[in-house]
């Protein structure tokens, strides 16, 4: 097998709207100690850079969140020489201020997953990776500035509640996540982010709000409010809102062009030679 190290500096892990236009495309199958990646990795040229792209849920979107082989994906990207990962993610809003179509550059997560292997270090050498600030500040700043230049509704910083899936939340869970201070809820940023840290790769989650989750209701007088039998503001009737696959897909398709353009513009600004502190995350983490 040919030497694939140094094949790409940057990778995109994603789906709808994140498949930017690449030239001189080839597919590479990377064999990992952890099994198969979600799909063969597409390598292509973009503005003089080599970009790797992998569809998180597989080519036909058939892999559910709790079955994604996160370790294989991240290991393979590291093997290719990737130093920066951009991870678009569809999420539900936990705040009235985060409307459908908004973008959030995540800076914190709360892990609510149950069955996912979350480390490469399972015995022998131990690793206690630091996660106080899990996401790359450099990439977050860069894409925030890009989003502002495009006049997008974009927020720098936000708490991502990562649930196991594939089911959506109950109303009680959604309300609890709001009380915890969550901004958005989704199913994929964890353990991608921590595994990237263990491989000393900068990681940026570009979250796109596709729905209002199920904490929300709609009052004919007051608009979006927290669901209850009666509106806490006017005592009027509150209609239940729910989340479903068609709603998520519809919003993703509508906003795909914005996401694609933001990625294309932002990637051009990345200094591929930058020695980010993320590239030294194993320092003082190994026993």
Q: Which residues are catalytic?
A: 211, 213
CA angle 242, 245, 248 (to 5 degrees): 85
- What sign does the dihedral 142-152-10-280 (CA atoms) show? positive
For residues 4 and 238, what is the distance between their CA atoms, to the nearest angstrom? 57
Give the end-to-end CA distance of the chain in Å, rounded to a whole number: 33
Helical axes 189-198 vs 70-79, angle rounded to 10°: 40
CB half-sphere exposure, 111, CA atoms < 13 A:
13
Sort residue 235 into left (φ over 0), alpha (ψ -120 to 50) or beta: left
Is residue 254 a contact partner of residue 73, using CB atoms and an 8 Å limit? no
Residue 102 burial (CB < 10 Å; 0-12/13-18/19+)? buried
For residues 88 and 275, what is the distance between their CA atoms, to the nearest angstrom? 23
């Amino acid at each position: 097998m040919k030497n694939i190290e140094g094949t790409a500096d940057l990778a995109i892990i994603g789906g709808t709207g994140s498949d930017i236009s690449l030239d001189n495309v080839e597919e590479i199958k990377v064999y990992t100690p952890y099994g198969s990646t979600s799909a063969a990795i597409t390598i292509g040229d973009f503005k003089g850079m080599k970009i790797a792209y992998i569809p998180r849920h597989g080519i036909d979107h058939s892999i559910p969140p709790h079955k994604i082989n996160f370790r294989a994906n991240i290991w393979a990207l590291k093997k290719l020489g990737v130093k920066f990962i951009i991870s678009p993610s569809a999420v539900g809003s936990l705040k009235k201020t985060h409307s459908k179509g908004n973008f959030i550059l995540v800076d914190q997560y709360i892990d609510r997953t149950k069955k996912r292997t979350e480390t490469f270090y399972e015995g022998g050498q131990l690793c206690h990776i630091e996660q106080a600030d899990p996401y790359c500040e450099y990439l977050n700043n860069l894409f925030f500035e890009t989003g502002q230049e495009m006049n997008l509704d974009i927020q720098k910083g936000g708490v991502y509640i990562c649930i196991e899936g594939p089911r959506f939340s109950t109303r009680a869970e959604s309300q609890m996540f709001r009380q915890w201070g969550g901004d958005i809820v989704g199913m994929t940023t964890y353990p991608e982010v921590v595994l990237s840290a263990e491989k000393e790769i900068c990681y940026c989650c570009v979250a796109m709000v596709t729905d209002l989750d199920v904490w929300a209701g709609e009052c004919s007088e007051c608009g979006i409010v927290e669901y209850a039998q009666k509106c806490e503001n006017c005592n009027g009737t509150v209609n239940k809102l729910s989340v479903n696959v068609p709603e998520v897909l519809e919003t993703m398709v509508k906003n795909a062009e914005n996401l694609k353009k933001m990625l294309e513009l932002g990637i051009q600004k990345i200094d591929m030679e930058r020695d980010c502190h993320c590239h030294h995350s194993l320092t003082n983490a190994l026993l």
